[in-house]
Structure 1
């Protein structure tokens, strides 16, 4: 039985295939790029067409040990033809970049577990578009969502870009909104986009071209699929209007999919993200909060906690209005979360955190503690 051919052949070089990747290809296999994944199977683009293939036992074992090893959209894979004629996904080639979120481990009952695991949302991406609709982007929680996605974007190795979608919903307040979002995204380009009017679409297209790959991330109702359609110049993704009354988006896109664009470049559409857990953070959080890191370098004490210490440049910036208090709270929260995630794989750090909590609990148990 041969692998189902879903469409015609592809020029691999237009999908990003190059000599460097060719050196990683196992003998006797052919290259393909993953365009969509399902349980135990994937749709891939290769010289033989758009194929549907199943995973080899080797791939399944690797994914069972570490979910990050599971094939994802954007991956380059090695396919091996079996005696019966069908192709099997034999192995993944090394990822150049990977957008990984934490907080997706599941219990035996199907619920989210505390001991969360990583999940790769997209691989080998050059640009990470963080989409936030103009209707909601001023809310504090949404600025926090932008910061979280940007931390993961920086960590992925791709170039983060914030897109304020549905810009046609705002008029006079749009510039204020862009400035406010820019404070949550230092060093990151922020653009207003309206797929309805075409505003900003060409700016977004300018980040693509050639073999560059972008992923569009954001909440449901952010206009991700509509933007992908505008970039493609065709209805390649199904779209829906937001619900009347509460303005919340519907989960139109239920899978991640790699879309080659006629004008060059590729874009990955994704379902709305509800849970944005940090995972294996290096410098991602520091990059998002570069403004606070710069202020912290001016503090009188090197170990300043930016709480009540004298000579704290961070607190001084909050008091004079140059740094939003919300931003410091968000930084503290993400720092704690990043440290906790790191402690799960670093025995030494985990022991330090445990000892720190023992000291805190001991202090709280002292007689008279917290009594009026």
Structure 2
């Protein structure tokens, strides 16, 4: 871990796990695993089949036990950054060990991985606050933010929108108002690391023991925000193309850092495109809550909000109360989530049909392709 870890005043120089978010809730869940001689740890980063994990002894390396690998049904059930795990050290005095259990997640931030086969790709786990970062430049896009809000509400984390690079915008307040219109009840903060703008509002979220994650498009300034809050360069950054304000991937993997304010922050690679995974948490209705409230006032319960008489949604569009582009995105994301759900149900049916049958061995090339797709 690049950021400096504080240790408590105990004589054995062990790490205070409370600063990583450990508490009674996790103690109870850990005890329920009933794994003797195991110690709790938190996943800092994943590197293929190896994981960087922090325990009371400090940072070390760990891998999954064969038994646990066999018990995990999907790749998304494998440890993700932010997960709490039960680890047995290889020997006394060592920091490395074997992972024998994973504690139930309080939140799970995920998306659909690229490819034709529906696969859930974990981004981070056990996040309290998810910072959705959008830069105030030519790449600013309200429709994209709506998609991120669906993901955030589905995750179980509380969303906060950060409008970064406010120093590059002549009227940040205008964009704050526009963003608040599509995100009722969600805090919206305009920040500028270059001018130290918005730091006080942002640091109010960084309470000791809290887990904060950054997500957003490439070039939005996530790593810059992390370095700004950490008061040191813990993540590399690079300039974006001035012609279209698009960035390249600076952060290549998910990683957790301890901030001097006492919170931990997870930085994630920028996304070129966000494919939604599912709507199990009701994120779509939450993200488009204003439209759902209008729809409840329609004359007909099965109103499609197109040309039906007594449609409150269309009346709001015609009066200017509702942006037609927002309504279009409401429909588009609903179709996408329904299609994704049908694909996942089909996959589950196929899996049930093959239960008990020996799967044909795949070639090494196919195994590698599927693994890289899921880890992308």
Q: Which residue of 2 aligns with 1:180?
A: 178
Q: Which residue of 2 aligns with 1:191?
A: 189
Which 4+ residue blocks in structure 1 deviate beyond 6 angstroms?
none
Q: Which residue of 1 aligns with 2:339?
A: 340
Q: Which residue of 2 aligns with 1:10?
A: 15
Q: Which residue of 2 aligns with 1:165?
A: 164
How far apart are residue 345 of structure 1 and its match? Answer: 4.1
Q: Which residue of 2 aligns with 1:280?
A: 278
Number of residue-to-residue matches in the alignment: 331
Distance between the aligned counterparts of 2:51 and 2:74, measured in 1? Answer: 18
Distance between the aligned counterparts of 1:14 and 1:83, measured in 2? Answer: 25
How far apart are residue 60 of structure 1 and its match? Answer: 3.0
Q: Which residue of 2 aligns with 1:49?
A: 58
- The equivalent position to 1:131 in structure 2, one of 112, 133, 141, is 133
Q: Which residue of 1 aligns with 2:77?
A: 69
How far apart are residue 33 of structure 1 and its match? Answer: 0.6
Aligned 1:344-355 pairs, distance under 5 A:
344-346=343-345
TM-score by length of 2: 0.83
Which consecutive unaligned segments of at least 5 residues does structure 2 have? Answer: 8-13, 350-376
SS of the residue 1:131 aligns to: strand
Is the Cα contact below 8 Å between 2:80 and 2:125 reproduced in 1?
yes
Aligned 1:174-323 pairs, distance under 5 A:
174-282=172-280, 283-323=282-322
Is the Cα contact below 8 Å between 2:88 and 2:99 reproduced in 1?
yes
How far apart are residue 224 of structure 1 and its match? Answer: 0.3
How far apart are residue 62 of structure 1 and its match? Answer: 4.5
SS of the residue 2:70 aligns to: helix
**More RCO (CA 8 Å, sep 6+):** 2
Distance between the aligned counterparts of 2:266 and 2:199, measured in 1? Answer: 16
Distance between the aligned counterparts of 1:174 and 1:195, measured in 2? Answer: 14
Distance between the aligned counterparts of 2:15 and 2:239, measured in 1? Answer: 33
Distance between the aligned counterparts of 2:180 and 2:225, measured in 1? Answer: 21
Is the Cα contact below 8 Å between 1:137 and 1:181 reproduced in 2?
no
Distance between the aligned counterparts of 1:75 and 1:291, measured in 2? Answer: 34
Is the Cα contact below 8 Å between 1:127 and 1:213 reproduced in 2?
yes
Q: Which residue of 1 aligns with 2:26?
A: 21
Q: Which residue of 1 aligns with 2:143?
A: 144
Q: Which residue of 1 aligns with 2:118?
A: 116
Report Cα offsets for 1:271-307 as digits up to 9, x if no partner. Answer: 1012312223131000000110111011100110001
Q: Which residue of 2 aligns with 1:370?
A: none
How far apart are residue 27 of structure 1 and its match? Answer: 2.4
Indicate yes or no: 2:86 matched with 1:78. yes
TM-score by length of 1: 0.84
When residues 101 and 62 of structure 1 are mapped into structure 2, their CA distance, relative to the original with a 3 A threshold, is farther
Report Cα offsets for 1:247-267 as digits up to 9, x if no partner. Answer: 221211111111111221111
Distance between the aligned counterparts of 1:54 and 1:194, measured in 2? Answer: 39
